[in-house]
Amino acid sequence: MEHRDLPVIDNLVSLFKEKQCCHFENIIFICVQHLLHTTVNLMEAIIKLGAKPENIFFLGKHYSYCQTVFEHLSGIGIQCQELLPLSGYGSYYETFNNSVASMWNNVLDHIESHCCEGIVILDDGGRNLEFIAKNNITGLPAIVGVEQTTAGLFSPLVSQSIIPFVDVATSAAKINLEAHLIIEAIIEKSTKKIAHLISNSMCGIVGFGTIGRSLLSQLESFHDNICIYDIKTPSSEYSKYSTSLEKLLFSCDLIFGCTGRDFLSTINLEDYINSNKTFVSCTSEDKEFLTLLKYLNKGRQITVANYLKDIEVQLTNNQRICILNGGFPINFDNSGESVTAEKIQLTRGLLLSAIIQAVKMLEPPLKEQHKQRVMLDPYLQKIVVSLWGKYGQHNIFSKQNIQYFNNTQWIIENSGGYNINASTFKELLEKQMLLID
């Protein structure tokens, strides 16, 4: 497998390995992550910090599955779990939950026969943390989670769980920097498929959070024929704002889903599909157009052999719809790369820092003090952005955007979760002369 050079990760490993501030040896790591080439760097970094490969359980996702990455992780001793096959359009949620449950059965067997001082759950989408919340499993060691997506963060099961977790999803670094990188990849991969549509169609953006706002700025470089809808956005904020989802669906030919949920669930589709429409998902899983996907299953026996194949269907009103990538995020294509390594190493650095923080939280006295949703430590965010500024493609952002991260208080004010004020990280990083207040 071709190696990806991630100096941000390498520098973090060197820093924390030298100071030996966290002990990984008898921690079990249960990971739900995309099977990307840079995920190998992240898993290898955990091993370099002392984790035993046999204590790392890993489950990929159907829509980002890369066989080369799976084989490499398995080859270094990580316990990679096979995914159960999808049974049709819109079947991802149930199928993936069953895959998570299968992984956890293996984890529980492993715990019975191995020394375990704690568990770190590395999650992407909340399914891992949801499993613990749904199942009354007793006798487990202390658990700390890491959640990197807002979809997982605001899952009712996750938000009501008593398990503490490090909130990477609403960290200042992820919100202010990563969203732009993802949207860049979405636009790049969309234009390869539908450049003519982006340039010539009325475009609709449903969901005007971090992703939706970044998407707007990218689409405006093509033209001004853009319509926005968000259930929480006041109509006076933008002239492009639509007063209803129905109006947006009726007037737009190219629709980008940025909500992180099934926003079509209350719509009678054929009333508003008045012309040929193309749907593009910009978030995770197949949530955005789930109602539409399930609608396509009616009266059909479907086996999904290629999850990411574009779906083209003619409705009973003779209008044609196209759902790109099978309803999954457009920036994934099973290539093992969704965003270039230079850029995505920012995300990988944030995740490694959150894992280090989670391991530290398992130790006393911090484990007696933490709340359920814990802020990604501002000093860790600061060092990751500092390293990414040195080794990554930070030049795509304004100088001011990067300089904000010199101010620890600004990071705190712009990050979600409870700040546990872990002086360990502050002292460690100040000694390295990498942080300047």
Cα angle 136-148-85, degrees, rounded to a multiple of 5: 65
Q: Look at residue 366 in the predicted model and tell me its pLDDT.
A: 53
Angle of the 7-19 helix axis to the 378-391 helix axis, nearest 10: 130
Of 356, 407, 354, the closest CA to residue 382 belongs to 407
Q: What is the pLDDT of residue 436?
A: 41
Q: Note the pLDDT tens digit of each residue in 19-68.
A: 666 789 999 999 999 999 999 999 999 999 999 999 999 999 999 999 99
Rounded to an integer, the average pLDDT of 397-423 is 83
Lowest-pLDDT range of 195-209, 314-328, 419-433: 419-433
Beta-carbon contacts of 214 under 8 Å, excluding residues fewer than 6 positions away, are: 179, 180, 182, 183
Strand boundaries in 47-202, DSSP class E: 56-59, 79-81, 118-123, 143-147, 165-167
Range of weakest confidence among 97-106, 351-360, 393-402 = 393-402
Rounded CA gap, 102 and 88, in Å? 20
How confident is the model at residue 156, as a pLDDT? 85
Averaged pLDDT, 160-173:
91
Question: Of residues 89 and 10, which shows the higher confidence score?
Answer: 10
Structure confidence by residue, pLDDT tens digits, 336-367: 888 788 888 999 999 999 999 999 999 876 55
| Residues of the chain above pLDDT 90, percent | 47
Report the SS3 class of residue 277. strand
- Of the CA atoms within 13 Å of residue 68, those in its CB half-sphere come to 10
The pLDDT confidence band at residue 268, using thresholds 50, 70 and 90, is: confident
- What pLDDT was estimated at residue 190? 80
pLDDT in tens, 274-300: 888 999 999 889 999 998 888 777 655
Q: How confident is the model at residue 153 (pLDDT cuts 50, 70, 90)?
A: confident
Mean pLDDT (the chain, rounded): 86
> Nearest Cα to 120, choosing from 30, 13, 24, 25?
30
| pLDDT-wise least confident of 68-77, 387-396, 406-415, 425-434 | 425-434
Six token digits for residue 221: 């470089």
82: region left, alpha or beta (phi > 0 left; psi from -120 to 50 alpha)? beta
Backbone conformation region of residue 336, classed left if phi is above 0, alpha if psi is from -120 to 50, else beta: left
Question: What pLDDT sits at residue 145?
Answer: 94
Distance CA 172, CA 149 (A): 13
pLDDT score of 398 more than 60:
no
Rounded to whole angstroms, the Cα distance separating 46 from 240 reads 46
pLDDT at 410 over 50: yes
Q: What is the pTM of this model?
A: 0.90
Q: What is the pLDDT of residue 433?
A: 47
User: CA 256, CA 261: separation in Å to the nearest integer?
Assistant: 13
What mean pLDDT do residues 426-431 have? 68
Query: Does the structure show a pLDDT above 70 at 429?
Result: no
> Looking at residue 437, what is its pLDDT?
46
| Domains detected in the chain | 7-175+335-431 (3.40.50.1480), 180-327 (3.40.50.720)
Average pLDDT over residues 311-329: 86
Give the per-residue pLDDT at 121: 97
Q: What is the pLDDT of residue 60?
A: 97
Flag whether pLDDT at 262 surpasses 80.
yes
